Amino acid sequence: MAKNKISLGVNIDHAATLRQVRGNTTAYPDLLTLVKKIKAAGGRQITIHLREDRRHIQDFDVVHLCKKSPLPINLEMAVSDEMLKIALKNKPAWVCFVPEKREELTTEGGLNVIKVSADIQRMTSVLKRKKIRSSYFIEPSLEQVKASADAGADAIEFHTGHWVLSKGAEKKKVWKQMVEASELAAKLNLRVHAGHGLDFEHCKLIRNLPHLVEVNIGHSIICYSLELGIAKATKEIIRHLK
């Protein structure tokens, strides 16, 4: 059983998706208002993903939230110099490097840190000098954890989507991989984060992951919010994590 208290970061991308459905012609939903409700409900961080195609979060959202949010901002972004410049200008508390393909509906897997090692090490070093911490969104692979430590990451965030969707023996296999990868991350002084596809049921399970200190959850919370409201949905996720 994990003994660490697990903090919740709430990803509000899909609140922005609802706004962008009408081409950003509406003032609602107001992201900063949602952030304040999330904070009051016990959320500890706001996660936003500025995608290349700007399908949900927009540049002005990054500027506005980094200036006005009462919670730290975790900016998910591709390993690109365009995104690095935006991060350096707006100074989020965290940058989370993620893989990105224009044609995907949502992030399909973890970042191959080995493949982008030179670029991500350079960018991480630049961010570190500006006191911006870096996490890498990876599969629960020992090789990827090692590569993340070598590149200078402060944390790794395990892509939990495959684990969430798998069943039976496969689910147990992926869980074992996450446990082993978490143990290695801890030995290498990396914070252990997790996210993708986590719902009420899987929050009850993920809390048992050794060394886990943070989860970032978006889609399920926004969906639950349609019935419960953002504050109650946030509180329910936190209750399941305890």
| 196 among known catalytic residues | yes
The residue annotated as part of the active site, out of 14, 56, 76, 214, is: 76
Residue 76 annotated to the active site = yes
What is the C-alpha separation between 50 and 44, in angstroms, rounded? Answer: 20
Q: Six-digit token pair at 74?
A: 């975790």
| CA nearest neighbour of 77 among 69, 68, 64, 61 | 61
H-run or E-run covering 155:
strand 155-159
Q: Look up 49 and say whether it is catalytic.
A: yes
* Catalytic residue (one of 14, 162, 196, 202): 196
In 3D, which of 3, 37, 25 has the Cα closest to residue 222?
A: 37
Q: Which of 14, 49, 193, 211 is catalytic?
A: 49
**Per residue in 11-50, is it b (16+ CB within 10 Å) or e — as a string?**
bbbbbbeebbeeeeeeeebebbebbbbbbebbbbbbbbbb
CA distance 152 to 189: 10
Whether the CB-CB separation of 209 and 182 falls below 8 Å is answered with yes
Q: Which residues are annotated as catalytic?
A: 49, 76, 196
